[in-house]
């Protein structure tokens, strides 16, 4: 039987409480005091002391993983799939390791979009200054000039970025399952221009600036000797506080702040921005969307804000497990009618592929994804 570190920390206190509760009134006071002590223990902070450093490799090779010829992530030495519980009973550390690997995979997929799919990385906002936060999308060479057809891909919410459907599938299954690359390659083979949106890249993170509090003695008329004495006490106090903070929370991470990207601060804003500055300017007679999960909601929001324009350019929309809701989003009757004719939502179902699935909403047909 394995006992968790958390249990080992609390075991002596639980035993003490069990003995005390068998006593009289005086013992009850001790029980109350112990309960108060227990409530003051920050177990999450305490357990960080036993974590290895949150210092992870910044390359796949550093993690000792690589994608094989089937696009599966495998350990370089053992050939085994990715293991989440790399360290027993250290869930937070394992999660941080998983997130660090995920960031590397995001950059890896970006490289594949440029090298394998020949897409161009386009910075947005298009008129951004050198110093302001920026995002980007990916486009094929002919995305704006192809006179016939244009394919637009929108992923869902969460940690996924341009070119991905699901990070979990990339790590645990393969690149074909978790990325948009098969869609992009087939679209290009069939003569489509391609635009890949990046709706979750809404801000950049920077470290919060440290606030320097000016010493009250700096602006006072106190004698120099008294001022020096106060400064010495202040420095000693800061030294003790810093030492205590380092002991209390040795794994303290940097405090970050978010700087939002102009006109792209949400997936919905991003969809409208890319429509206005790219899709609406394209030469394509027929525009097609593939939108997954929250991407479907973003598309409906785009329709609400640019209804006439969308109807004039968009031929069909393939939704996959879309989370849009025409009632909550207040989509009008004309939008709902257009969606019934031009959209289809493939949803998770045990029914055979393309079997009709009942829907409570009066918008587009729902069919099984198989």
The string of pLDDT tens digits covering residues 281-321 is: 999 999 999 999 999 999 999 999 999 999 999 999 999 99
**Tell me, what DSSP letter sits at residue 138?**
E
**Number of domains the chain contains:** 2
- The full DSSP string for 251-289 is TPPPPEEEEEPTT-SSHHHHHHHHHHHTGGG---SEEEE
For position 165, which CATH number holds?
3.40.50
- DSSP lists the bridge partners of residue 356 as 367
Query: What positions carry a catalytic annotation?
Result: 293
Q: Is residue 361 part of a domain?
A: yes
Read off φ and ψ for residue 305, nearest 5 degrees: -85, -25
On whether both 178 and 278 belong to a single domain, the answer is yes
Same domain, 61 and 157: no
Q: Within this chain, do residues 144 and 104 fall inside the same structural domain, yes or no?
A: no
What is the domain range of residue 85?
Answer: 54-116
Q: Are residues 130 and 111 in the same domain?
A: no
For residue 15, the model assigns a pLDDT of: 56
Query: Does some domain include residue 79?
Result: yes
The domain boundary residue, chosen from 85, 116, 147: 116
pTM, 2 dp = 0.78
Question: Is residue 27 a part of any domain in this protein?
Answer: no
Instruction: Report the pLDDT value the prediction gives residue 207, as an integer from 0 to 100.
Output: 84
Tell me: do 79 and 185 sit in the same domain: no
Q: Is residue 270 located within the same domain as residue 348?
A: yes
Classify residue 236: in a domain, yes or no.
no
Q: How high is the pLDDT of residue 2?
A: 44
Q: Are 151 and 292 in a shared domain?
A: yes
- Tokens representing 247? 């002991």
Residues 83 and 160 reside in one and the same domain: no
How confident is the model at residue 51, as a pLDDT?
74
> So what's the pLDDT on residue 159?
94
Which run of H or of E encompasses 75? Answer: strand 73-75
| 197 and 60 within one domain | no
- Name the domain boundary from 87, 116, 145: 116
Q: Where are the alpha helices (DSSP H) in the chain?
A: 5-20, 25-40, 43-48, 60-63, 91-115, 167-172, 175-178, 181-189, 224-248, 267-277, 294-305, 307-313, 333-342
Please confirm whether the linkage preceding 125 is cis (ω < 30° from 0): yes
| Residue 239 included in any domain | no
Question: Is 127 found in the same domain as 112?
Answer: no
DSSP 164: B
Compute mean pLDDT per 10 residues along the chain, 370 residues long, and list them: 50 55 61 61 51 85 95 95 85 90 96 98 97 97 98 97 97 97 98 98 87 53 68 67 52 78 97 98 98 98 98 98 94 95 95 91 89
Which residue, of 70, 96, 116, is where some domain finishes?
116
Same domain, 70 and 187: no
pLDDT tens figures, 217-259 = 455 566 776 666 767 667 776 666 655 454 445 555 678 889 9
Q: Give just the sign of the alpha carbon dihedral 291, 329, 313, 367.
A: positive
Distance CA 295, CA 289 (A): 10
């Amino acid at each position: 039987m394995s006992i968790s570190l958390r249990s080992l920390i609390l075991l002596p206190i639980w035993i003490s409480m069990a003995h005390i509760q068998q006593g009289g009134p005086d013992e009850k006071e001790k029980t109350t005091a112990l309960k108060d002590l227990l409530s003051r223990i920050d177990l999450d902070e305490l357990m960080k002391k036993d974590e290895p450093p949150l210092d992870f490799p910044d390359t796949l090779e550093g993690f000792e993983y690589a994608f094989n010829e089937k696009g599966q992530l495998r350990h370089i030495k053992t050939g085994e799939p990715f293991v989440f519980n790399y360290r027993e009973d250290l869930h937070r550390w394992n999660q941080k390791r998983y997130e660090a690997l995920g960031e590397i995979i995001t950059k890896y997929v970006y490289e594949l979009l440029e090298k394998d799919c020949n897409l161009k990385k386009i910075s947005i906002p298009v008129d951004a200054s050198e110093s302001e936060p920026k995002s980007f999308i990916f486009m094929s060479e002919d995305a704006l000039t192809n006179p016939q057809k244009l394919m637009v891909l929108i992923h869902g919410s969460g940690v996924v970025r341009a070119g991905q459907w699901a990070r979990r599938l990339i790590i645990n299954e393969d690149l074909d399952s978790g990325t948009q690359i098969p869609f992009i390659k087939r679209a290009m083979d069939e003569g489509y221009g391609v635009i890949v949106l990046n709706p979750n890249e809404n801000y950049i993170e920077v470290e919060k600036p440290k606030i320097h509090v000016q010493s009250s003695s700096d602006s006072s008329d106190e004698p120099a000797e008294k001022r020096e004495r106060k400064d010495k006490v202040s420095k000693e106090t800061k030294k003790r506080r810093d030492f205590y903070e380092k002991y209390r929370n040795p794994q303290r991470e940097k405090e970050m702040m978010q700087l939002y990207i102009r006109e792209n601060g949400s997936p919905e804003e991003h969809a409208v921005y890319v429509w206005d500055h790219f899709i609406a300017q394209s030469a394509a007679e027929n525009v097609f969307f593939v939108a997954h999960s929250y991407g479907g909601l973003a598309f409906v929001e785009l329709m609400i804000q640019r209804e006439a324009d969308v109807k004039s350019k968009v031929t069909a929309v393939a939704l996959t497990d879309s989370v849009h809701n025409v009632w909550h989003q207040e989509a009008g009757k004309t939008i709902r009618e257009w969606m019934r004719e031009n959209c289809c939502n493939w949803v998770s179902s045990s029914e055979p592929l393309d079997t009709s699935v009942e829907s409570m909403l009066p918008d587009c047909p729902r069919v099984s994804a198989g």
